[in-house]
């Protein structure tokens, strides 16, 4: 299969078109309903994918707007996407920082504490990756999308992905199984419940948030201004080692 033949990841295209029409910031939270392999904008399929396995299982291979290496998205993943306009071009790292902190604050509001930023744009619990993001910029638009690992199918990740050609320092050469973790317990329906609660917990960020909020980097966690981390938990019971979404 020629590299140019991979169709685009189009799940958020309607969001992008709507925001281009009216300049209104939009946030979408959704659970994947099928399994797909998604290449980064500059990914080489023959380097990053186990192509024979992908083809044998008839798993769709798509290409996203944003960068980064290939990922497997399955029904154990929850996707959070943001589309907004009104930002100066550039400052990509700063935008990653603020949007990552915005998402971490939303997770805290629904009972998932201890998540921190790792690498450029990963979410981590301890030394395990529990989320990864991509960012696409054009002159008039920002598109940010994160995949949260709620109950990921690591068998499929190992079957469809090679070891990535680039990795954050904290991965330290670990295999997919040794590196990837989970935000929640392996409970039936957990990904759907997380998506529902996050949908209510996340308020759309504003251009002012991304241009004026002071971001402070610390060794273990990213901290932003308090107004991004306020709000009550929504139907959540939290106990040591346990998160219960009702």
Q: What is the pLDDT of residue 5?
A: 81
**What residue ranges do the domains of the chain occupy?**
3-245
A 10 A CB-CB count for 137 gives 17
Whether the CB-CB separation of 243 and 236 falls below 8 Å is answered with yes
Best CA proximity match to 224, nearest among 137, 87, 117, 67: 117
Q: pLDDT tens track of the chain, all 246 residues?
A: 435 589 999 999 999 999 999 999 999 999 999 999 999 999 999 999 999 999 999 999 999 999 999 999 999 999 999 999 988 777 788 889 999 999 999 999 999 999 999 998 999 999 999 999 999 998 889 999 999 999 999 999 999 999 999 999 999 999 999 999 999 777 778 999 999 999 999 999 887 777 654 443 434 332 222 222 222 333 333 333 334 444
Chain mean position to CA 37: 14
**Per residue in 20-37, is it b (16+ CB within 10 Å) or e — as a string?**
eeeeebbbbbbbbeebbb
Question: The whole model's pTM is what?
Answer: 0.84
- CA torsion, points 15, 16, 17, 23, in degrees to nearest 10? 100
Fold classification of 3-245 is: BirA Bifunctional Protein; domain 2 (3.30.930)
Q: What is the pLDDT of residue 246?
A: 44
Q: What is the pLDDT of residue 226?
A: 28
């Amino acid at each position: 299969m020629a590299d140019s033949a991979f169709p685009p990841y189009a799940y958020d295209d309607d969001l992008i078109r709507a925001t281009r029409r009216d300049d209104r910031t939009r946030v979408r939270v959704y659970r994947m309903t099928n399994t797909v392999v998604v290449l980064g904008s500059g990914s080489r399929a023959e380097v990053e994918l186990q192509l024979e396995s992908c083809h044998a299982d008839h798993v769709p291979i798509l290409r996203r707007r944003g960068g980064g290496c290939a990922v497997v998205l399955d029904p154990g993943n929850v996707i959070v996407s943001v589309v907004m306009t009104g930002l100066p071009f550039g400052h990509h790292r700063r935008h990653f920082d603020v949007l990552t902190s915005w998402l971490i604050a939303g997770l805290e509001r629904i009972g998932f504490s201890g998540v921190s930023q790792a690498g450029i744009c990963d979410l981590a619990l301890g030394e395990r990756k529990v989320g990864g993001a991509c960012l696409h910029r054009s002159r008039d638009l920002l598109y940010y999308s994160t995949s949260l690992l709620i109950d990921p199918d690591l068998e499929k990740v190992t079957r469809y992905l090679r070891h990535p050609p680039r990795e954050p320092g904290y991965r330290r050469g670990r295999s997919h199984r040794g590196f990837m973790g989970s935000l929640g317990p392996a409970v039936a329906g957990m990904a759907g419940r997380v998506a529902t609660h996050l949908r209510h917990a996340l308020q759309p960020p504003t251009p002012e948030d991304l241009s004026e909020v002071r971001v402070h980097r610390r060794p273990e966690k990213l901290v932003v201004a308090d107004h991004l981390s306020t709000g009550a938990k929504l139907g959540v019971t939290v106990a040591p080692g346990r998160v219960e979404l009702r």
